[in-house]
């Protein structure tokens, strides 16, 4: 499943950046046409798998997505934005020649991470 593999890639990148810190939020960008609900479900699934494997760095972490207009650059010379009807996953149909090309945006681009604050010793939060 395509969504799962792009989410696994995203989480792998986050793990390298987090270096053991506890991740709270992951922000990422995907082209219009990607199923954002599906991506969030995959993220939750990957995080649950990690927790089961004994890695709790992502426990309770959430994925926040923003979508950007999908674009393609086609061999026929067309370059531009696609309407949602011409997008299927990470592929798009060129309005110029009808050829199917890969979108010129990454399926899932990491924008940022936030980490849990360091534990303090001043007692339970008010
Ligand atoms: Zn074309």
CB 38 within 8 A of CB 4: no
User: How many Å lie between the centroid of ligand 1 and the Cα of residue 73?
Assistant: 8
User: Is residue 121 pLDDT above 60, yes or no?
Assistant: no
Percent of the chain with pLDDT over 70: 92
**How many A from CA of 79 to the centre of ligand 1?**
8
Report how far residue 122's alpha carbon sits from residue 120's, in angstroms, rounded to the nearest whole number. 6
- Report the separation in Å between the CA atom of 2 and the middle of ligand 1, taken as the mean of its atom positions: 24
74 φ/ψ sector (left φ>0, alpha ψ -120 to 50, else beta): beta
CA angle 20, 118, 53 (to 5 degrees): 30
> Once rounded to an integer, what is the mean pLDDT over residues 16-45?
92
- What angle separates helix 36-52 from helix 2-18, to the nearest 10 degrees? 60
Q: Which residue has the tokens 């199917």?
A: 100
CA of 104 from ligand 1 middle (Å) equals 13
Q: Is the dihedral of CA 33, 36, 39, 41 positive or negative?
A: negative
**Mean pLDDT across 35-40:** 93
Helix then strand then coil, in percent of the chain rounded to 5, is 30, 30, 40
Ligand 1 centroid vs 9 CA: distance in angstroms? 29
Domains of the chain: 2-115 (3.30.2320.80)
- Tens digit of pLDDT for each residue in 71-90? 999 999 999 999 888 988 77
């Amino acid at each position: 499943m395509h969504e799962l593999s792009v989410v696994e890639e995203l989480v792998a990148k986050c793990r390298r950046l987090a270096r053991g810190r506890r991740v709270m939020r992951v922000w990422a960008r995907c082209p219009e046409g990607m199923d954002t609900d599906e991506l969030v479900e995959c993220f939750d699934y990957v995080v649950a798998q990690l927790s089961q494997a004994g890695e709790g760095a992502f426990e309770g972490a959430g994925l926040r997505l923003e979508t950007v207009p999908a674009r393609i650059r086609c061999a026929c010379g067309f370059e531009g934005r696609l309407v949602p009807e011409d997008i299927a996953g990470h592929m798009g149909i060129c309005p110029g020649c009808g050829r199917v090309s890969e979108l010129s945006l990454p399926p899932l681009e990491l924008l940022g991470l936030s980490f849990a604050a360091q534990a303090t010793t001043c007692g339970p939060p008010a």
